[in-house]
Amino acid sequence: MRKLVVIGFVITGAAIGLLSSLGETWALKVFMMGLGGLVGAIAGAALSRIGQGGRPTPRRDDALRGLGTTSEDIMDNYWRDEGHPQFMKPTSADSKQFGGTGGMAD
């Protein structure tokens, strides 16, 4: 059925191309018929949804939701984890101690 819709649009596009170039040379008529057929094929394929695939998109498994590994979990906890995955947040440079009391005169 889908191919029939596309073929109908191709024929309709070619007929419109022929009618729009009546009274012109045959070269222009053939060109306009080809252009009309091309536009008709594109329109027919888009309207009959050819090219989107025959299988539906698989549903996501929500079994991992809430473990901190999915992009939704990272988005939900962005402000807490500062954009890093859960338990992978690097330590802050301010909390590290590099020996001494922190003064220059040590």
Predicted TM-score (pTM) above 0.85: no
Which comes out higher in pLDDT, residue 62 or 48? 48
Q: Residue 76 CB: number of other CB atoms within 10 A?
A: 14
Residue 1 is predicted with a pLDDT of: 77
Contact 34, 10 (CB under 8 A): no
- Averaged over 10-30, what is the pLDDT? 91
67-101 pLDDT, tens per residue? 656 677 767 766 666 666 666 666 766 666 665 55
Q: DSSP per residue over 1-63, as a string?
A: -HHHHHHHHHHHHHHHHHHHTTTS-HHHHHHHHHHHHHHHHHHHHHHTTTTS-SSPPPPPPGG
